[in-house]
């Protein structure tokens, strides 16, 4: 994959995604997690401190070795047992109906075949299970979308394949989920093209 992608990018991602400004979002998105959880794009473990009491176990799916290294201290002191259980959200190494809930934070922008990943998440969730997500993506305003489409190729190149203009709620619905909670807003303090967020729960 190359030095930048393998060695530099996971540290950059940890700094940007791990910013304290994201803590309230992580608290909100993790709030309803329960039971056995699959976390897609575990990254450097930025959600570890936010798993609620009702979570019994987390199976993290993350390709980047450095992400797991950065996460090691958080994983070691976590109340919830966490294991590196997979490498690729597009092909999950789990049986059907394995998990009570699934978590994705700032990851559906990056997975190359996001439709395949969502189909996989749906497959491994038990009936009645839910996907909890907070993701950036296509802005509600046309003036912002214009900039998203302009900046998208650069973003993909420097941010490990991260797409700026994916319509995440639509992709989730296309995968057969019913979205039961959805809040769309711009995260304050960031340029709107990068800060059009969708936070919700889908079953
Ligand atoms: C922007 S980071 C977000 C990390 C973490 N979820 C967070 O909120 O801090 C996107 C993550 O998706 C991971 N990723 C990329 N392709 C993936 C794939 N095919 N399956 C699972 N995760 C993937 C990246 O390695 C990276 O850790």
Q: For residue range 160-184, what is the model confidence (pLDDT) as tens digits?
A: 999 999 999 999 999 999 999 999 9
Q: Provide residues with CB under 6 Å of ligand 1.
A: 13, 17, 40-41, 43, 46, 61-64, 67, 88-90, 105-107, 110-111
Distance 158 CA to ligand 1 centre (A): 14
5, 110, 163: which to mutate for ligand 1, most atoms within 8 A of CB? 110
Is the pLDDT score of 1 beyond 80?
Answer: no
Distance 107 CA to ligand 1 centre (A): 5
Distance 141 CA to ligand 1 centre (A): 26
| Model pTM score | 0.97
Adjacent-strand bridge partners of 60: 39, 84
Least confident of 4-8, 73-77, 87-91: 4-8
Give the integer Cα–Cα distance in Å for 62 and 48: 14
Both tokens of 47, joined, read 């959600």
Question: Residue 183 maps to which CATH number?
Answer: 3.40.50.150
Distance 119 CA to ligand 1 centre (A): 17
Residue minimizing CA distance to atom 13 of ligand 1: 41
The residues near 67 (Cβ < 8 Å, ≥ 6 apart) are 10, 13, 14, 42, 43, 44, 45
CA atoms within 13 A on the CB side of 14: 19
Confidence of residue 5 (pLDDT cuts 50, 70, 90): confident
Instruction: Give me the pLDDT at residue 4, please.
Output: 87
Q: Which atom of ligand 1 is nearest to the CA of 104?
A: 6
Angle separating helix axes 65-77 and 9-17, nearest 10 degrees = 40
Residue minimizing CA distance to atom 16 of ligand 1: 111
Is the pLDDT score of 202 beyond 80?
Answer: yes
Confidence of residue 93 (pLDDT cuts 50, 70, 90): very high
Q: Which domain holds residue 78?
A: 3-202
The residue-averaged pLDDT of 90-104 equals 98
The residue-averaged pLDDT of 151-157 equals 96
Instruction: Give me the pLDDT at residue 27, please.
Output: 98
What is the count of structural domains for the chain?
A: 1
The residue-averaged pLDDT of 77-96 equals 98
The residues near 56 (Cβ < 8 Å, ≥ 6 apart) are 35, 36, 80, 81
Instruction: Give me the pLDDT at residue 6, please.
Output: 83
Instruction: Give me the pLDDT at residue 7, please.
Output: 85
Mean pLDDT over each residue of the chain, to the nearest integer: 96
The residue-averaged pLDDT of 66-71 equals 96
- Give residue-wise pLDDT tens across range 6-56: 888 889 999 999 999 999 999 999 999 999 999 999 999 999 999 999 999
Confirm if 38 and 94 have CB atoms less than 8 A apart.
Answer: yes
Distance 43 CA to ligand 1 centre (A): 5
């Amino acid at each position: 994959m190359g030095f930048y992608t393998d060695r530099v990018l996971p540290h950059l991602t940890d700094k940007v995604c791990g910013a304290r400004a994201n803590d309230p979002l992580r608290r909100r998105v993790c709030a309803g997690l329960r039971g056995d959880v699959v976390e897609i794009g575990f990254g450097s473990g930025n959600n570890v401190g936010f798993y609620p009491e009702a979570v019994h176990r987390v199976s993290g799916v993350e390709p980047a070795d450095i992400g797991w290294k950065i996460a090691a201290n958080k994983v070691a002191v976590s109340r919830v047992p966490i294991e590196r259980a997979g490498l690729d959200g597009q092909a999950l190494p789990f049986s059907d109906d394995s998990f009570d809930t699934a978590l994705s934070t700032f990851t559906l922008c990056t997975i190359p075949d996001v439709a395949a990943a969502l189909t996989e998440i749906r497959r491994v969730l038990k009936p009645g299970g839910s996907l909890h997500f907070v993701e950036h993506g296509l802005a509600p305003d046309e003036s912002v979308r214009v900039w998203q489409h302009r900046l998208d190729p650069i973003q993909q190149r420097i941010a490990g394949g991260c797409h700026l203009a994916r319509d995440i709620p639509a992709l989730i619905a296309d995968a057969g989920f019913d979205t039961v909670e959805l809040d769309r807003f711009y995260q304050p303090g960031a340029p709107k093209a990068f800060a059009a967020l969708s936070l919700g729960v889908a079953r």
